[in-house]
Chain A
């Protein structure tokens, strides 16, 4: 198995081989054939993402513990958390939907925030052990399934439906979930996975020191 120079990439959307130039801070390059963003230079990527992930982890706990909203109508009081909503679905006989709702609003965001936090702490002293790479792969797998922003819009719609029948009071959990809707995309934007991968020990044993990989690559590829 031969390795190739570090600045060479294959576009994930069209497979075209290209060399990534040295980018100015904040600069990004797109694939010259299909237009996909191939690399972005992100200043202090790992530190900034770590700060955002710590904040997100705290807010995430609040969002799941505090009630999302309360409701009062004709003398009845009701309040619910995110998990409480799914639990009601389970009780009412929609177990599959309940599991899916918990996965998209609790499990996937928790994996995203928690594992990314662990990876970011692990890569502070490179080379990070290979299990950090496994966690990073799990983070990327769960990313499309974390749907807090969709959930917030869903809550808004259901509130408007209910507003005719009852008085609805937004709870602390609602504000925390609102903050997560901002924090999670901010994490994704500031995080540079390539930088993290470079600091993680290779699964195939050992960590090739940076800069030596180009020497082992006999290739005549032109950009």
Chain B
């Protein structure tokens, strides 16, 4: 877009994260608190890039046990069977409900992975001060924020399956450690999407101030 686009940061104006009020603090480095709602003011989210990296790296680490460890352990009179997330998808597919298998596959496997890749891509392009397709990148960030919550699907599926199937001693379902790691992936990526400041996408190029912090 136009190089002379007038942004708040260029004029030393701070917009409140919580209520949107614009103020022009005397000292831009220490803007203090919003006079309207009391939220701490900042030109950009503090250390947005470093914090988002930390969160997605933590999420990527948790993603491995989330997929390898069982999320559900089904015990019957004869046997005990462990199901991972992919195992649950396959089971749904085998029992004939392929639309649901597809929903669970997208929500539990594709979305978390796509979020990690998308956030890493946004962070790298911001770091390189890329001006390439800013409009699409800000849309990508909105999409990541919007779809993130749907990954919690598998956690709810496991919770209600466990809650209902307690037919001791015939059959019972216990949650496995995989659920906790999987929930951690979802929560960490949701916080990461929230921590990333989309305004950094537009800050690059001729106005170098406000890149970090």
Question: Interface residues, chain A, CB within 8 Å of chain B?
Answer: 1-4, 8-10, 12-17, 33-36, 68-69, 71, 73-74, 76, 78, 80, 84-89, 92-94, 96-98, 100-101, 104-105, 130, 133-134, 136-137, 140, 144, 147, 150-151, 153-162, 164-166, 168, 193-194, 197, 200, 202-204, 219, 221-222
Contacts and interface: CB of A to CB of B under 8 A. Distances in A.
Given A14-B198, A33-B1, A204 B170 contact: no
Contacts of A4: 13, 22-24
Given A80-B164, A97-B180, A197 B202 contact: no
A164 B164 CA distance: 13
B37 A137 contact: yes
B160 A155 contact: yes
B20 A13 contact: no
A2 B8 CA distance: 13
B202 A15 contact: yes
A1 B199 contact: no
B6 A86 contact: no
Given A157-B92, A221-B6, A221-B11, A165 B38 contact: no
Contact of B166 (A78, A150, A157): A78
Contacts, number: 230
Contact of B138 (A34, A69, A98): A34
Contacts of B162: 85, 88-89, 92
Interface residues of B, number: 74
27 contacts: A9-B15, A10-B13, A10-B22, A13-B199, A14-B134, A14-B138, A35-B135, A35-B138, A35-B139, A84-B163, A87-B163, A88-B159, A92-B162, A97-B159, A100-B155, A130-B38, A150-B152, A154-B152, A158-B158, A161-B91, A161-B95, A161-B161, A164-B95, A165-B165, A197-B19, A203-B36, A219-B11
Nearest to B15: A10
Q: Is the interface of B mostly helix, strand, loop or mixed?
A: helix
A156 B160 CA distance: 10
B164 A69 contact: yes
A140 B159 contact: no
B35 A1 contact: yes
A9 B157 CA distance: 42
A190 B202 CA distance: 30
A74 B21 CA distance: 62
Interface of B: 1, 5-9, 11, 13, 15, 18-26, 32-39, 91-92, 95, 97, 100, 103-104, 134-135, 138-139, 141-142, 145, 148-150, 152-167, 170-171, 174-175, 179-180, 183, 187, 190, 194, 198-199, 201-203
Contacts of A165: 165, 171
Nearest to A203: B38
Contact of A1 (B18, B23, B37, B198): B23
Given A89-B162, A204-B38, A10 B171 contact: no
A144 to B, nearest CB: 7
Contacts of A154: 152-157, 159-160
Contacts of B155: 97, 100-101, 154
Given A1-B35, A4-B24, A222-B6, 4 more contacts: A15-B8, A34-B134, A154-B156, A197-B19
Nearest to B145: A144
